[in-house]
Amino acid sequence: MAQLVLVPSTLELSAIGKQCFKPQTQCCMVNSTTLNLRTSKFPLKRVTFQRQKPLRSSFTVCATTLPIGQDAPPQPTNGFDQSSSRDSSKRKRVMVIGGDGYCGWATALHLSKKNYEVAIVDNLIRRTFDLQLGLDSLTPIASIHDRVSRWKSLTGKTIELYIGDICDFEFFSAAFKSFEPDTVVHFGEQRSAPYSMMDRPRALFTQSNNVIGTLNVLFAIKEFSEDCHLVKLGTMGEYGTPNIDIEEGYITITHNGRTDTLPYPKQANSFYHLSKVHDSNNIHFSCKTWGIRATDLNQGVVYGVRTDETDMHEELCNRLDYDGVFGTALNRFCVQAAVGHPLTVYGKGGQTRGYLDIRDTVQCMELAIANPAKPGEFRVFNQFTEQFSVRDLAALVSKAGEKLGIDVKTITVPNPRIEKEEHYYNAKRTKLIELGLQPHYLSDSLIDSLLNFAVAYKDRIDMKQIMPSVSWKKFGAAQVRSVAA
């Protein structure tokens, strides 16, 4: 059995014996008793087992939700024959990479409730980022082991855990072959533009982690299960803010009398968004070359905390980031209003983006999985429900605050980003609607709910994290120290 313990400076894994088991299935071999992952200013360090062969910065182990010392049940057959096509009568198996994160956790629970067999793959690095930078979720979040144990106790449904780094192909290929997914949902990337713009090490980490991780997923599908469907979380941010309508993935262009349909031009404005551009190109190439089936969901800005599943118990609660590194505009504004801090609008406030409720994120994932791409097809869906400027959001929060008796003021602060502050923005979003998406629109009642949520947890708010802390123009150690102070 394996036990995972998270402490401020060390991630320690104590393995008893030479084997680790996941629930109901024998897993990967390990021949070490202790593994340490030290945190530092740069999140990933080389980790080795106590043996001669070095490994990358992950550990090949499947965690267990059984009590330590309890024997795992005998390994059942899963009914899959790799020499033939999948049996459509079997429950579909979905591997959620990054399933301990904000979107991934809500998606994993939703799919499990919908009777998919679900496995989470995660290296838990998002929690380490908080430790490094002195940040914390507004909502207290339980460990991933307590989360899946609570889910099992409430629903009787098992979510399997694979703790490790998908950039380590030895680990990921073992997890992939063990679980045999029909669909891989890929959330497992460093997703913050400000984090990627902090300094050179974090820019490099964002690029290498995101791009290499996606390549490993593509190679695993190619080598072990070509019929597996990849559902990849993209970002609307990779399009930038062009002065023409944003199509869903592709655009038909006539130039010098000739016409062709091409991938929509990308205009990334951070190293994070650049990594997403690389992802899109790599997936597009793999679909054309290897016949992989893939769906890229270019997601807008997600808001909210609650889904039907995360509301079932406090240990299932999702995270809510409000700081200047990982927090998004609406969440930040609601937290600022709850503690009486003026809403901090960056620059002119005309920056317009697509937004969607976390409940719609899980809907979109379910729709993409239930309606897979064809072999060799790379689909792109724009995943958002409404468009708002930053000024619009501030006005909505101010109005909702007045109804709750909160005096909400708004200030403008120098924009730490390099972006257009007034621009044309009109993105298409028809494909998911055609598949049956039923949107939850941003209403007064929802903002009231977010504000009440922020008020309920306002004792956990760190006022030092309210203001923006990362500048696109100022790299270096001084900036990192100021964030962590």
User: Which active-site residues does the annotation give?
Assistant: 235, 272, 276
For residue 178 the two structure tokens come to: 């063990």
Of 462, 467, 464, 466, residue with least CA distance to 414: 467
Exposure pattern of 25-38 as b/e (b: 16+ CB <10 Å)? bebbebebeebebe
For residue 45 the two structure tokens come to: 């360090």
Cβ neighbours of residue 84 closer than 8 Å, sequence gap 6 or more? none
* The 3-state secondary structure of the chain, one letter per residue: CEEEEECCCEEEEEECCCEEEECCEEEEECCCCEEEEECCCCCCCCECCCCCCCECCCCCECCCCCCCCCCCCCCCCCCCCCCCCCCCCCCCEEEEECCCCHHHHHHHHHHHHCCCEEEEEECCHHHHHHHHHCCCCCCCCCCHHHHHHHHHHHHCCCEEEEECCCCCHHHHHHHHHHHCCCEEEECCCCCCHHHHCCCHHHHHHHHHHHHHHHHHHHHHHHHHCCCCEEEEEEEHHHHCCCCCCECCCEEEEEECCEEEEEECCCCCCCHHHHHHHHHHHHHHHHHHHHCCEEEEEEECEEECCCCCCHHHCHHHCCCCCCCCCCCCHHHHHHHHHHCCCCEEEECCCCCEEEEEEHHHHHHHHHHHHHCCCCCCCEEEEEECCEEEEHHHHHHHHHHHHHHCCCCCCEEEECCCCCCCCCCCCCECCCHHHHHCCCCCCCCHHHHHHHHHHHHHCHHHCCHHHCCCCCCCCCCCHHHHHHHHC
Q: Checking DSSP bridges between strand 159-163 and strand 117-122, what pairing results, if any? A: parallel
Partners of residue 258 on adjacent β-strands = 255
Q: For residue 251, give the 3-state DSSP assignment.
A: strand
Side chain identity, residue 354: G
Side chain identity, residue 1: M
